[in-house]
Structure 1
Amino acid sequence: MTLMMVATALGWIGALAGLVAYAMVSRGRWNADSLAFQGTNMLAAVTMLTVAASNGVWPSAAANIAAILIGANAVATVLRAKKKRQAQSAPVLTVVKDTAQDEAELEAQPAVSHRVYAEAA
């Protein structure tokens, strides 16, 4: 098996991966901002870049480099948004007033006030 045959096989794998990603988004199975879609597109671009570069087809190689950079930026954006959502949904402690059952219980408590913290749901 020659190097050119390996590059050609990679090209077919990349073309198939790109078509699968496009079909999955078109059918609504994946979102355009999903890591699966972006990762599959980047895999397709990397493999097709290999074929283009090994054959000296530089316009296609440049287009695939651009696709890889766009995909990397999209993945970074998705990961930042995910991290931000996780930080915003983290439990928060809030101050709630301590309530006593009756007046006798209030009188039995020390004069020092205290706070009770509850976790927000």
Structure 2
Amino acid sequence: MKHTLMSGFSFLHLPFKWTYREHKGQMSTFITVIGTLGAIALLIAYGLVSTAKMTGDSLAYQAINLGGALALAVNSGYHGAWPSAILNIVWTAIGVFTVGRFVARKAARTP
């Protein structure tokens, strides 16, 4: 019997069966889309700050950076590009810290 990813769920009577290779290909495509969206987000944020349409100390800029870096960290880690993954993990940590400061300041101002 050929082992498939969904073979343990035969009671579902699905009209298809995913092989591991098909699943891996779909996951790779999904991860690539996530990484591409992360790169686009970082480029948009950089472009907005560079053209003075957004400030580097704004919550929007920090949130875009956080999301973009997280997406690229996932993509880089999945593909084994460890220097890029580590860079983006650190970038994400900085984003989490900075967004956390924004949230804490806002909470302190709210009565």
> Normalized against structure 2, the TM-score is what?
0.69
Q: Structure 1: how far apart are the matches of 2:59 and 2:92? A: 14
Q: Structure 2: how far apart are the matches of 1:28 and 1:83? A: 28
For residues 42-93 of structure 1, the C-alpha deviation after alignment (integer angstroms, 9 at most, x for no partner) is 1111111111111111111111110011011111222333344556xxxxxx
Percent identity of equivalent pairs? 33
Partner of 2:83: 59
Q: Structure 1: how far apart are the matches of 2:54 and 2:99? A: 14
- Structure 1: 5+ residue stretches without partners: 88-121
- Residues paired across the two proteins, number: 87
Between structures 1 and 2, the one with greater strand share: 1
Name which one, 1 or 2, has greater alpha-carbon Rg.
1
Partner of 1:46: 70
Partner of 1:27: 51
Between structures 1 and 2, the one with greater helix share: 2
**CA RMSD of superposed structures (Å):** 1.7
- Structure 2: 5+ residue stretches without partners: 1-24
